[in-house]
Structure 1
Amino acid sequence: MRLGVLDVGSNTVHFLVVDAHPGAAPLPAYSHKIDLRLAELLDPDGAIREDGIRQLVDMVTSSMRVAEDKGVEEVLPFATSAVREAVNGEAVLKRVQDETGVELRVLSGGDEARLTFLAARRWYGWSSGRLLLLDIGGGSLEIACGLDEEPDTAVSLPLGAGRLTAGWLPGDPPEPDRVRELRKHVRAEIARTVAEVSRLGPPDHVVGTSKTFKQLARITGAARESEGPLVPRRLTRGALEDWVPRLAAMSAEQRVLLPGVSAGRARQLLAGALVAEAALDLYRVDELDICPWALREGVILRRLDRMSS
């Protein structure tokens, strides 16, 4: 069947059309997205601004037109941390439903971590053993670890690259003192989760998902995205540690010139690198593999599982 996944994330609103059926990998058929960056479109009280809401409504409306044009049988609409944590989140959801007819399902942080873990487990299989997943989004960091398709632990922290950039790094390039303050904050937050994850034993395989990890891997020498999802890509802690001070000294304009870095993500890359570096260091991870599948694929796979049960 043809499914549409409407992902209202903290950075991007993405409508992905896939051909999918139980027992097979979902195949992307069409992509429609905008870099809305809802995590940065907040007023001082933490509410999503009117311009952000208007753009979101317009994007949902256009996505439903795409769904009709592409023959989508079912749409799976969901929203993550930007809407979940906005003080006017409920009003935003009601506005979207009233004006488009689409009811967005708000995923909890734990749901995000579990569904992304499911996608990574299906991609790498049982031979991966104990899997540790790290996912840096625009609004939050998801961490999950376990042996099965359901992780033994699933944690979400408010350490998304967009959120941290907006709240901690106003300069371009940011002032060194602000970078140090953010580094300290990130490490303190992640350190609170180390005992919970470590009690499960050392992971056999560590993977990273999300655009942030893909871009960090690319600037440290990983293959281009155009080479396809089956090409192995890896990020090492050593290479990342070398790049963090270099990114801190660059402006967003300079970061755009790096391989694989998009204009919409350039300002956020330093904050994402600080989160990635802290996670690899505190979890004692020397390297991780970049997983092509993430939350959207997890949502699709869970839906297919329910069809076959």
Structure 2
Amino acid sequence: MEKIASIDIGSNTLRLLLAEKTGEKFRALFRDREIVRLGRNFYPDRLLSAQAIKAALMVLKRFKVRAEHEGVAQFRVVGTGVLREAENALFFIDQVTRETGVLVNIIHGLEEARIMAKGVLSIFPSTYGKTVIFDLGGGSTEFVFMNDGKMDERISLPLGVVGLTEKFLISNPPRSNELESLRVHCQNILKKNLAKNDRINNIIGTAGTVTTLAAIAKNLIVYDPDQINGTVLTKETLVELSNKILSLSFDQRAELKGLEPERSDIIGAGILLVLEIMIYFSQTVLLVSDAGLLEGLILDA
């Protein structure tokens, strides 16, 4: 039995999972996360701001202290979306190592997709037929195509809720022309990069936007991964949520049960992208997995 810490340094959120691993199984000991928004105002210069770096370092120090308190023997720390693009990513990584002693591995989008799928499949081990798994993050969205439980194809697309929000949804609440521009942009990226397949049997979503939508649909006051894993969201439910969320200001959205106030500005772009993905694959039902990259990192250790 080995204690492992997995940390995901994402474009929007920093997340921690401490777990005990025995063979091919693990038991979660502790979870933590904080929205830092490393990808805030990232474009066009592709630079992490000094403020975001400082905030991220503070969170990572806290994660390290908690992990050491639990007697963790191995750290698996990865950088995704925004760190793949940042001109000053190496500076950030050097700062993390200097101040925490932790090494950060910036992983390619295809590797992120592989590890993420491993985590999702720990919750949905018996996928049948053709299944699409997607991880909708702050800086990118990863897709994994499964066929009877075997991985067929992986792809990472530049569709992240932070970037989409800053580029398209300027008004608060967003105007109809902004929403339409975002929809068209998402449709074009999907059509250009993904093969159209109307024979998909299942679609599974993971990461903050998708799990938040499940939490809102369930009116969760306290977020609970066990209540999120396996949640079924219908297209009808998501359309209703979309109409409601997009009509509200950021402050009004922050009052919704299940929605972290720090996500109030980006949840609009997130739900629109989720719906466009479902429409593209002709799906009326979305399965939700809280498990994803963090769990995959533990299982892949």
After superposition, give the CA deviation of every residue in 1:189-228 in whole Å (9 maximum; x if it has no partner). 1122331x63xx7233221111211222343458774483
Q: What is the correspondence of 1:255-294 to structure 2 with a 5 Å cutoff?
A: 255-294=253-292
State the alpha-carbon separation in 2 of the partners of residues 258 and 22 from structure 1: 41
The amino acid of 2:163's aligned partner reads: R
Preserved contact between residue 142 and residue 155 of structure 2 (Cα < 8 Å): yes
Which residue pairs with 1:233 in the alignment?
A: 231
Larger % of strand: which? 2
Report the CA distance shift for 1:231/1:58 in structure 2 as closer, same or farther (over 3 A).
closer
How many residue pairs get aligned? The number is 299
Q: Give 3-state SS (helix, strand or coil) of 2:162's partner.
A: helix
Aligned to 1:167: 167
* Distance (whole Å) between structure 1 residues aligned to residue 33 and residue 218 of structure 2: 27
SS at match of 1:128: coil
Question: Is the alpha carbon distance of 1:62 and 1:219 closer, same or farther for their aligned partners in structure 2, counting shifts above 3 Å?
Answer: closer
Does 2:31 match 1:31?
A: yes
1:113 matched residue in structure 2 = 113
| Residue of structure 1 equivalent to 2:156 | 156
Cα contact 2:127–2:148 (8 A) shared by 1: no
Higher helix share: 1
The aligned counterpart of 2:210 is: 213
Q: Using the alignment, how far apart are the partners of 1:127 and 1:8 within structure 2? A: 28
Higher relative contact order (CA 8 A, sep 6+): 2
Shift in Å, 1:2:
1.0
Cα distance between partner residues in 2 of 1:46 and 1:227: 33
Deviations 1:156-187 (A, max 9, x none): 11111122112222221122222211111111
4+ residue runs of structure 1 moved beyond 4 angstroms?
A: 221-225
**Deviation of the 1:254 alpha carbon:** 1.3
Normalization by structure 1: what TM-score?
A: 0.89
The structural deviation recorded for 1:270 is 0.5
CA contact (8 A) 1:79 1:104 kept: yes
CA spacing shift, 1:282–1:43, aligned 2, 3 Å: closer
CA RMSD after TM alignment: 2.2
Q: Identity, % of aligned pairs?
A: 25
| TM-score relative to the length of structure 2 | 0.91
Code of the residue aligned with 2:116 in structure 1: it is T
SS of aligned partner of 2:22: coil
Q: Is the 1:209–1:294 Cα contact (8 Å) retained in structure 2?
A: yes
1:89 aligned partner: 89
- Counterpart amino acid of residue 240 in structure 1: L
